[in-house]
Structure 1
Amino acid sequence: MTSRTSRSSALHDRIADDLRTRIGAGEYGPGASLPPMRELQAQWKCSDGPVRDALAILKGEGLITVSRGAPARVRIQPDRKEHSIAVTPEVAQAYKDLALRSEAERSSTGTVELSIGVPLSETEFSVTYEHVAANAELANEFKVKAGTDLLRRTYRTSRKETGKLMLFSVSHIPTFLIESNPALLDPKNEPWPGGHWHQLYTVGIEIDRLENVITAIQPTTIERQDWGMDHGVPLLCLRSLSIDILGRVVEVAYSTYPADRTEIRYTQQLTRWPDVPAKSPEES
């Protein structure tokens, strides 16, 4: 790997680029210490200021960790399969079909198992319900008047062993869609076997499709602490619209995932060309 900065660049940028290149080339592997501050100062014939600025850049990029009184280390990347977002028809159908299974099956299989394969017994679950007025954005999504009463539900699932977040989501549903079943307005009934798919099923709503958008956002200090995230790592935000068989948006949900431990898998099914026989490699 070669340096991307020119000699006219600021010294701290050149130091950062040199270290970044060495890390990318494997000279400093995951968990390895970078050269001490004094060694870098001697190498670059500078004061500690440019070196500190260079390390701050790499820390902000999520490449290194810096602790007081200890040398900077190359950050060990988490397993990206900790969170696996599978944007495929098969996965969505599995969630939907769970709503039609027996209560025993729905109670023993939840979002945590289907999403990241962790047994419910190893997790802590909490939820809060609030009634809020629809703002302009949500009113537009639900095709209702601004100020319409919505039920906002905030879900948190943490790992018992560490207390760190594993799943976090916020859901909005127009109250008038679900108020015919009072049980859906009571957080004491959570976690609901079969999730929101079964909740909506109890009021005669069948979800036809999901429309998902994924964006990256910068986490707050509290979010970093809750997830156990290092500096320089963004959050992925999955915004999902649940649309029923009548074409109505019946739920708007937001879920967040640390980008360094999340993989996104999706399938694009293509239509076969009509009347075009497949050729063997020899015929091509």
Structure 2
Amino acid sequence: MGMPLHERIAADVRRQIASGELAVGAPVPSESQLCATWDASRGPVRQALATLRAEGLIGGGRGKPPVVRRQGLSQPFDTFLSFSRWVEGLGRTPGQRTMEVARRPATAEVADPLHIDEGAPVVQLLRLRLIDDRPTMVERSTFTEGAGRLLFDFDCDSGSIYAYLASCGIDITVAHHMIDAVAADATDSELLGVPVGAPLLRERRLARGAAGEEIEYSDDRYRGDMISFSIENSQQAALPALVRSLSQTGKKPAS
């Protein structure tokens, strides 16, 4: 079944905002204009605009045309995209600096979610992720040996690891995400340019292949002044949509 109309309308306006086609402060197309563009009734259009308001992308008082409040980058986590694809898909430039790729025995912390024995060999990756050259997230990924050993033949600074693994026949198709907050440790502080103890948003992710096999366990720590997470749900929805957003303070520098 295709995406509901209100979601398609919201996605298109969101794309226009992210690309700069609709700049911060610019008026959003009116309900009448959106109805004509999409050959839609006012119901789906109003639902789409309500979604964008809830995300903080648009605002405006009652009876006044909505305007763009911020140029946010959002990704619903019910669509599983790598960091690189998320950023590229919204017209921004992803980047990465690989600090370490190492083969180690698995600790209990990573062995349990990966369903392997403690002490079994794994490959661990430490990378700094960037958006438009701005330090945004510290990525600590642990791969099972079969997938991880492929990384020794790959330049991890060259792009998406998931895309590379897919080219090698390892498709990561499903992930479970856990979101919480942690204090920045010394490594986070150095890489992200924040004080030790500063609050960071953490996404722990267990990624699986098409057959359900565990492939990666990751601990990703985002700067809270750049990235936010929100939940969109309804009484009718079976599952809520978790959305990752780039805040206005992390907006693309003017050219």
- TM bucket normalised to smaller: 0.5 to 0.7
1:28-73 CA distance string (max 9 Å, x none): xxxxxxxxxxxxxxxxxxxxxxxxxxxxxxxxxxxxxxxxxxxxxx
**Aligned residues of 1:82 and 1:262 also touching (Cα < 8 A):** no
Q: What SS does the corresponding residue of 2:137 show, helix, strand or coil?
A: strand
**Aligned residues of 1:155 and 1:169 also touching (Cα < 8 A):** yes
How well do the aligned residues superpose, as a CA RMSD in angstroms? Answer: 3.6
Match of 1:86 in 2: 75
Q: What SS does the corresponding residue of 1:110 show, helix, strand or coil?
A: helix
Match of 1:156 in 2: 128
1:152-182 CA distance string (max 9 Å, x none): 0111135787xx6223201111112454xx5
Matched AA of 1:169: E
Larger Rg: 1
Q: Are residue 110 (structure 1) and residue 84 (structure 2) matched?
A: yes
Mapped partners of 1:197, 1:261: distance in 2: 23
Mapped partners of 2:75, 2:131: distance in 1: 21
Shift of 1:139: 1.5
Q: What SS does the corresponding residue of 1:128 show, helix, strand or coil?
A: strand
Shift of 1:233: 4.1
Q: What SS does the corresponding residue of 2:225 show, helix, strand or coil?
A: helix
Q: 1:220 to 1:190 in 2, by over 3 A?
A: closer
5+ residue gaps, structure 1: 1-80, 96-108, 274-284
Mapped partners of 1:82, 1:168: distance in 2: 23
Q: Are residue 132 (structure 1) and residue 104 (structure 2) matched?
A: yes
Which of 185, 188, 191 is the aligned partner of 2:152? 185
Mapped partners of 1:246, 1:256: distance in 2: 28
Question: Identity over aligned residues, as a percent?
Answer: 15
Shift of 1:218: 1.4
More strand by share: 2
1:230-270 CA distance string (max 9 Å, x none): 68741111101101221111101111112233211344476
Shift of 1:137: 2.5
Mapped partners of 1:239, 1:156: distance in 2: 16
TM-score computed with the length of structure 1 as normaliser:
0.49
**Aligned residues of 2:93 and 2:132 also touching (Cα < 8 A):** no
1:14-35 CA distance string (max 9 Å, x none): xxxxxxxxxxxxxxxxxxxxxx
Q: Are residue 206 (structure 1) and residue 171 (structure 2) matched?
A: yes
Q: Are residue 249 (structure 1) and residue 214 (structure 2) matched?
A: yes
Mapped partners of 1:178, 1:229: distance in 2: 30
Matched AA of 1:135: T
Aligned ranges for residues 1-284 of structure 1 at < 5 Å? 86-90=75-79, 92=80, 94-95=81-82, 110=84, 113-114=87-88, 118-120=92-94, 125-157=97-129, 165-177=135-147, 179=149, 182=150, 184-187=151-154, 189-193=155-159, 195-220=160-185, 223-229=188-194, 233-268=198-233, 271=236
Q: What SS does the corresponding residue of 2:118 show, helix, strand or coil?
A: coil
Mapped partners of 1:214, 1:175: distance in 2: 26
